[in-house]
Amino acid sequence: MSATWLATPTSSDGELAVDGGLPRCVVFDLDGTLTGSKVPIERPMAEALLELVRRLDVGIVTGGRYKLIEAQVLPYLDELGWSDDDRRRLHLLPACGTQRRRWDGRSWHQEFREDLDPSDRERVPEVLIGAAKELGLFESRQWGDYVDDRGGQITYSVFGQTAPLEVKQAWDPDGTKKERIRLLVAERLPHLSVASGASSSIDVTRPGRDKAFGVERLAAALGVRLGQLVFVGDRLQDGGNDASLHRLPVALVSVQRPSDTLTWARELVDRLDGSRIEDARRPRDSMSGHRAPAVSPPERDQESPMNLDATLLEILVCPDCRSKLSVDDSASELVCNGCGLAYPVRDDIPVMLVEEARRPDADSAESPADEDA
């Protein structure tokens, strides 16, 4: 097995938050991690994912469009049969997490979307193709469009978006050709982030709009501390499109191929089952370093009727102004002591997203992220 722990963050008391403990959420890269580039996941991987979503929240992040996840993953989970509760614990993060979808009981509803500026969406394709031609690395053999505008990310594929995997892998086995293109594009688009994608692709996004951005927003939406989250990817090296995760205090697992991921996922399922904890998403007891035992139904104490984790409340701040928060049990909200934004609490999980918050001067606010794009 070639799955390697690169980082195992610790809690404030020095207790390991993930390695040696249990995560509350695992996020997987898609291509190269769960499956080959633009090919469906194999049945054993689908089975492992289903076992995980029955135990904790799972995210899938990709630089590609939502339709790739829809084609590569979802039908194969459908074949196995899964409940609405299972589906709700799967979080889809296409376009490097500049979009997020979740099951609403009927469809994979878009909860969030952020696109590049229109001027960049017009210029970036010209720069990508121009750099490849200037370096003598432009390939006339073509399978599909060279450039795919995914809204929050634009991707250049040397042979086109639907090129055979073996052609892409044979073109640049050591990554030097792709790196030359990436460096020239980065020089000409200094205000944007340019990263090496899959075997023959380059990804362009806004600065900070990368997989770490998507993972951080997902953790906030779930009310999960970053130290309780694991990211699994195959391109965590410098220049890779998973490398941005190094800036977050999350546990990182580096894999070389989907078979490594499958072995690691199965081992995690065994660890979760061996813990004798019914709800693997229940927060850690900050004093003992162990997870609190499951209680069904949950008992609500008098001081916190919403049954919020006290440790979580201590560390949460307003993402807009960084002020502390007060609990409003009657409205099921966390209210910022600084700017007054009121963040909803749903199923005892604070949703710490500005676009979801109620403005202090508004009786009600409808988030644009709730609208399908």
Q: What is the mean pLDDT of residues 99-125?
A: 95
* 333-336: strand order across its sheet: 325-328, 333-336, 342-346, 349-350
Q: What is the mean pLDDT of residues 107-119?
A: 94
Question: Which residue from 330, 354, 333, 351 is spatially nearest to 342, judged by alpha carbons?
Answer: 333
State the residue range of the domain holding 316. 299-359
pLDDT given for residue 6 in this prediction: 59
Establish if 366 belongs to a structural domain.
no
Supply the CATH number for residue 185's domain: 3.30.1240.20
Same domain, 124 and 194: yes
Same domain, 99 and 248: yes
Establish if 282 belongs to a structural domain.
no
Same domain, 128 and 269: no
Contacts 24+ apart (CB under 8 A), 354-358: 354/319, 354/320, 355/112, 357/320, 358/333
Establish if 288 belongs to a structural domain.
no
Same domain, 123 and 269: no
Same domain, 90 and 234: yes
Asked whether residue 112 carries a pLDDT value surpassing 60, the answer given is: yes
Q: Any idea which of 74-88, 246-260, 296-310, 341-355 has the lowest mean pLDDT?
A: 296-310
Supply the CATH number for residue 233's domain: 3.40.50.1000
Q: Among 151, 167, 200, where does a domain finish? A: 200
Q: Among 173, 200, 227, where does a domain finish? A: 200
Q: What is the mean pLDDT of residues 281-299?
A: 36
Same domain, 106 and 41: yes
Largest Cα separation within the chain, whole Å, is: 69
Give the pLDDT band of residue 149 (cuts 50, 70, 90). Answer: very high
Same domain, 10 and 104: yes
Asked whether residue 301 carries a pLDDT value surpassing 70, the answer given is: no
pLDDT given for residue 338 in this prediction: 86
Q: Is 147 exposed, middle or buried (0-12, 13-18, 19+ CB in 10 A)?
A: middle
Q: What is the rounded distance in angstroms from the CA atom of residue 338 to the CA atom of residue 341?
A: 8
Q: What is the pLDDT of residues 177-219, one digit of tens each?
A: 999 999 999 999 999 989 887 778 998 999 888 899 999 999 9
Supply the CATH number for residue 354's domain: 2.20.25.10
State pTM to two decimals.
0.65
Average pLDDT, the chain: 82
Q: What is the mean pLDDT of residues 25-48?
A: 94
Q: What is the mean pLDDT of residues 130-152?
A: 95
Establish if 244 belongs to a structural domain.
yes
Q: Among 158, 175, 200, where does a domain finish? A: 200
Establish if 27 belongs to a structural domain.
yes
Q: Any idea which of 231-240, 281-290, 341-350 has the lowest mean pLDDT?
A: 281-290
Q: Any idea which of 18-27, 38-47, 53-62, 299-308 has the lowest mean pLDDT?
A: 299-308
Establish if 293 belongs to a structural domain.
no
Same domain, 172 and 241: no
> 2 or 297: whose pLDDT is higher?
2
Q: What is the mean pLDDT of residues 1-27?
A: 58
Asked whether residue 362 carries a pLDDT value surpassing 80, the answer given is: no
Q: Contact at 8 Å (CB) between 46 and 252?
A: no
pLDDT given for residue 314 in this prediction: 65
- The share of the chain scoring above pLDDT 90, in percent, equals 50
Same domain, 195 and 215: no
pLDDT given for residue 367 in this prediction: 41
Strands 153-157 and 147-149: antiparallel
Q: Contact at 8 Å (CB) between 112 and 95?
A: no
Same domain, 130 and 99: no
Same domain, 102 and 156: no
Give the pLDDT band of residue 167 (cuts 50, 70, 90). Answer: very high
Same domain, 109 and 122: no
Q: What is the pLDDT of residues 205-261, one digit of tens each?
A: 998 888 999 999 999 999 988 988 999 999 888 777 788 899 998 888 889 899 999
Number of domains in the chain: 3
Q: Which two tokens stand for residue 312?
A: 């979580």
Establish if 364 belongs to a structural domain.
no
> 364 or 180: whose pLDDT is higher?
180
Establish if 343 belongs to a structural domain.
yes
